[in-house]
């Protein structure tokens, strides 16, 4: 497995990381034994970065990784996050209401709680999961910088900042990594945020690089469990799926011509966008994990990649990535 740098932190990661969110929540049923086997196989394949957050499973995802760390002979690079707070209020779509918090005291306490759940002394990469609109980003960054000085974290990250927020944050301390949704289906980061990441020497860590599993099977959307939150997303409705048929057709055509799977093609396209990009596709099954990992060593003709770039413009994709007003979601 090839490696890429994490900003200016001095840390390196496998070119592909593993998003662990679905191992505890949001994407339907999961199995502890299968999760552990998949995590171990990721290490065997050279995938070093395991991405979690205190939000996922209300801390249970970090506890899962803590159990894995305690039993494996490998030394994974752990990325975690704080900044999205669960509430007891249930919204009309059945999901719990989320709020943002970026106060220094909260960030410090959350890091300590994450360290305890993970069973480690230092978190390699620690993100503010979402920026709190009621707290200046400079204040939140100050708390993250203090955690780094104290040796509790090794690198600082922000998730889904605006270009302005990222610029301001870097005046306090280097933002080594920005985690944002980025895939052929969602390219909002390209115009404003990615240029700032590159100007400041950061790394873009891409969650949902496969469009949250937006893959066509037998002409229909993926079958989702009753508690899978993707049922609430506009892009997963049948109407959106039907409207996006030409894009699915193009993915099938290019993948077949190149001799790769559609998920591999999407990862190949993403990795081709720059050496400062690290996708973290989620996988609960070893077969999916191995297929994703193999994409790192595959290539597709330049003309074919350019076709995809032109076809998957933001205006061409039907269906918003979130329901209106629900942007503080999983990811």
CA distance 312 to 251: 10
Whether residue 17 contacts residue 279, with contact meaning beta carbons closer than 8 Å, is answered with yes
Contact 11, 4 (CB under 8 A): no
Answer yes or no: are the C-beta atoms of 59 and 25 closer than 8 Å: no
User: Which residues make beta-bridge pairs with 279?
Assistant: 206
| Active site residue ranges | 56
Distance between CA atoms of residues 59 and 156, nearest Å: 20
Q: ∠ at Cα 277 (256, 38), nearest 5°?
A: 70
Closest of 34, 6, 7 to residue 20, by C-alpha: 34
Q: How many CB atoms lie within 10 A of CB 189?
A: 18
CA distances for 238 relative to 208, 245, 253, 262, 271, angstroms: 20, 11, 22, 20, 29
Point out which residues pair with 84 in neighbouring strands: 100
- The residues facing 157 across adjacent strands are 127, 177
E strand residue ranges, 161-219 = 177-181, 203-207
Contact 213, 222 (CB under 8 A): yes
Tokens of 94: 């059945």
- DSSP sequence for 128-154: ESS--TTS-HHHHHHHHHHHHHTTSEE
Token pair 């990535």 is found at 321
Residue with tokens 């994490």: 6
3-state secondary structure of 307: helix
């Amino acid at each position: 497995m090839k490696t890429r740098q994490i900003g200016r932190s001095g840390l390196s990661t496998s070119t592909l990381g593993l998003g662990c969110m679905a191992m505890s929540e949001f994407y339907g049923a999961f199995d502890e034994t299968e999760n552990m086997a998949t995590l171990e196989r990721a290490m065997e394949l050279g995938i070093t970065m395991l991405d979690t957050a205190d939000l996922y499973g209300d801390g249970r995802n970090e506890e899962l990784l803590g159990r894995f760390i305690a039993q494996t002979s490998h030394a994974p690079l752990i990325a975690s996050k704080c900044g999205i707070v669960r509430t007891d209020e249930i919204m009309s779509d059945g999901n719990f209401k989320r709020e943002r918090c970026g106060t220094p005291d909260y960030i410090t306490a959350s890091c300590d709680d994450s360290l305890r759940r993970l069973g480690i002394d230092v978190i390699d990469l620690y993100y503010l999961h979402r920026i709190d609109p009621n707290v200046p980003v400079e204040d939140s960054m100050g708390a993250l910088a203090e955690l780094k000085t104290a040796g509790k974290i090794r690198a600082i990250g922000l998730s889904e900042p605006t270009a302005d927020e990222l610029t301001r944050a870097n005046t306090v301390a280097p933002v080594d990594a920005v985690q944002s949704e980025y895939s052929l289906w969602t390219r909002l980061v390209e115009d404003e945020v990615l240029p700032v990441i590159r100007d400041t020497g950061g790394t873009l860590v891409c969650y949902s690089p496969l469009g949250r599993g937006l893959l066509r099977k037998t002409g229909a959307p993926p079958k989702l469990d009753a508690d899978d939150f993707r049922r609430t997303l506009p892009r997963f409705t049948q109407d959106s799926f039907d409207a996006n048929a030409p894009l699915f057709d193009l993915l099938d055509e290019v993948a077949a011509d190149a001799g790769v799977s559609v998920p591999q093609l999407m990862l190949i396209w993403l990795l081709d966008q720059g050496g400062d990009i690290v996708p973290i596709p989620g996988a609960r099954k070893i077969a999916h994990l191995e297929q994703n990992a193999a994409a790192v060593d595959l290539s597709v003709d330049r003309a074919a990649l350019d076709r995809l770039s032109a076809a998957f413009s933001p205006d061409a994709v039907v269906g918003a990535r979130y329901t209106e007003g629900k942007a503080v979601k999983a990811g």
